[in-house]
Chains A and B, each alone.
Chain A
Amino acid sequence: DAGITQSPRHKVTETGTPVTLRCHQTENHRYMYWYRQDPGHGLRLIHYSYGVKDTDKGEVSDGYSVSRSKTEDFLLTLESATSSQTSVYFCAISERPDRGAAFFGQGTRLTVV
């Protein structure tokens, strides 16, 4: 299995509070992604990174920001959590996106109450 660790695995937070999810990889892959999974929607891309300090928006980026100061770490921040951000969040990594295929972390279940 690819070396991807997400933390925390579960979190409950209150509306309006900031939340940061962490993705750590040991594979030295250049590309990292954050997806969210909601019933009836499959997985949707939030943000991705194609190198240290290089990030871009995905399909559902509103309300989220990311940072990547080191190759191995990709942080997802909800500046002010809302109930609509209750979801399961997946980090993924890819060495060769031009050949497709990404490998996923275990997911983080975030509940905003």
Chain B
Amino acid sequence: AQTVTQSQPEMSVQEAETVTLSCTYDTSESNYYLFWYKQPPSRQMILVIRQEAYKQQNATENRFSVNFQKAAKSFSLKISDSQLGDTAMYFCAFTKALGGSQGNLIFGKGTKLSVKP
């Protein structure tokens, strides 16, 4: 069975600085997808970034980028130039790819990020 672990329950960062959120996972699959979702106080789950396991290049979306280390089963999220609106819960998630995948997501327990002015 797949598991996703986020070891940092809470983090804080000053506005305009950079912060990195950690995620590790365990799987025997060779092909899969990893995601970071953001959940602001509004409760809406927002997809931040997606990484395909067979792509070595790290995904980037504006100020958000990942460091994907497949051998180490590590998938960290870096937020550059942090903004007050980045304050949220961040969830790391995993899903198998191809081979009859139904898209079921396995989530970590989340990291609560606070951006301070």
Contact = CB atoms under 8 A, between A and B. Distances in A.
A91 to B, nearest CB: 10
A62 interface: no
A106 B109 CA distance: 19
Interface in B27-79: 32-33, 35, 37, 42-47, 50, 52
Nearest to A45: B104
B97 A100 contact: yes
Contact of B33 (A31, A56, A99): A99
B102 A56 contact: yes
For chain A, the bracket of interface size reads: 20 to 34
Nearest to B46: A104
A31 B91 contact: no
A88 B109 CA distance: 14
Contacts, number: 70
Size category of the B interface is 20 to 34
A106 B101 CA distance: 25
What secondary structure prevails in chain A residues at the interface with B?
strand
A17 to B, nearest CB: 24
Contact of A107 (B37, B43, B102): B43
A90 B43 CA distance: 10
B108 A42 contact: yes
B109 A97 contact: no
B102 A48 contact: yes
B24 to A, nearest CB: 14
A101 B44 contact: no
Q: Which 7 A-B pairs have the closest CB atoms?
A: A97-B103, A100-B33, A104-B45, A42-B107, A43-B107, A94-B103, A42-B109
Interface of B: 4, 32-33, 35, 37, 42-47, 50, 52, 91, 93, 95, 97-98, 101-105, 107-110
